[in-house]
Structure 1
Amino acid sequence: MKVFISHSSTDTKLARRIADALRNASFQVWNDTQIFPGDNWAELIANQLRESDAMVVLLTPNSVDSPYINAEVGYAIGEQGYKGRVIPVLAAPSEELSQLELKIPWILKKFGMIHISNLEDDEEGLRNITQALKKAAA
């Protein structure tokens, strides 16, 4: 299964940790860290969205209002091939959760959300993401 990680550029470090964990679990992963200077980023992202089977959406204080992430999520939700394979990940310290939850698009609240509170070291959260994708792939 090929997984697209939707995230804000300010959350690249966390996106890389998630990508590494997923690759270690034998998933193919694409995120925008694979875009290089001079690349047509909009075309690359569109192609990767079409080629992917699942999406992990990082919802952080930096990303929740992003029109780019909203567009990527909108595509995935409307695409039959992603059915049951959009995994929202709420990534914020516990003290910021209530404010962040108010900003999450209503449609994502319908999915099972995974919470990562310690952005630097949350192995359980990474395992939960991997398990959710394995379950969705079955």
Structure 2
Amino acid sequence: MRVFISHSSKDTKLARRIGDALRNEGFQVWDDDQIFPGDNWAELIANELRESDAMVVLLTPNSVDSPYINAEVGYALGEQGYKGRVIPVLAAHSEQVSQLELKIPWILKKFQMIYISNLEHEEEGLRNITQALKKAAA
């Protein structure tokens, strides 16, 4: 299964950790480090969205207000191929969660969230993401 990780560029380090964990479990994950100077990044991302089968949406203080994240999520939710395969991940320190939950795009509030509250030790959250994608692929 090919997985797209929707995230803010400020959260690249965490997105890469998630991507590495997914690759270790046999998933294909595209990284935005494959965008080079002079590339049309919007076209590359749109192409990757079309080719992916699932999406992990990384919701952080950096991403919840992003129009790009909202557009990517809107695309995935409208595509039949992503049905049941959009996994929202709320990643914030525990004291930020209640404020962040208020900003989550309304369309994602109907989904069960995976919470990563300790950004330094997120092994359990990574396992939960992997398990959710394995279940969706079955």
Query: What are the ranges of 5 or more consecutive residues in structure 1 without an aligned counterpart?
Result: none
Letter in 2 for 1:5: I
Query: What are the ranges of 5 or more consecutive residues in structure 2 without an aligned counterpart?
Result: none
Question: How many residues are treated as equivalent by the alignment?
Answer: 138
Aligned to 1:67: 67
Offset, 1:101: 0.2
Aligned to 2:46: 46
SS in 1 for 2:3: strand
Q: What percentage of residue pairs aligned between the two structures are identical?
A: 88
| CA offsets 1:118-137 (integer angstroms, 9 cap, x no match) | 11221000000000000000
| CA offsets 1:5-55 (integer angstroms, 9 cap, x no match) | 000000000000000000000000013222111111011000000000000
CA distance in 1, matches of 2:3, 2:99: 28
Aligned to 1:35: 35
CA RMSD of aligned residues (A): 0.7
Aligned to 1:87: 87
Runs ≥4 residues deviating over 6 A:
none
Decide whether the 8 Å contact of 1:6 with 1:31 is kept in 2: no
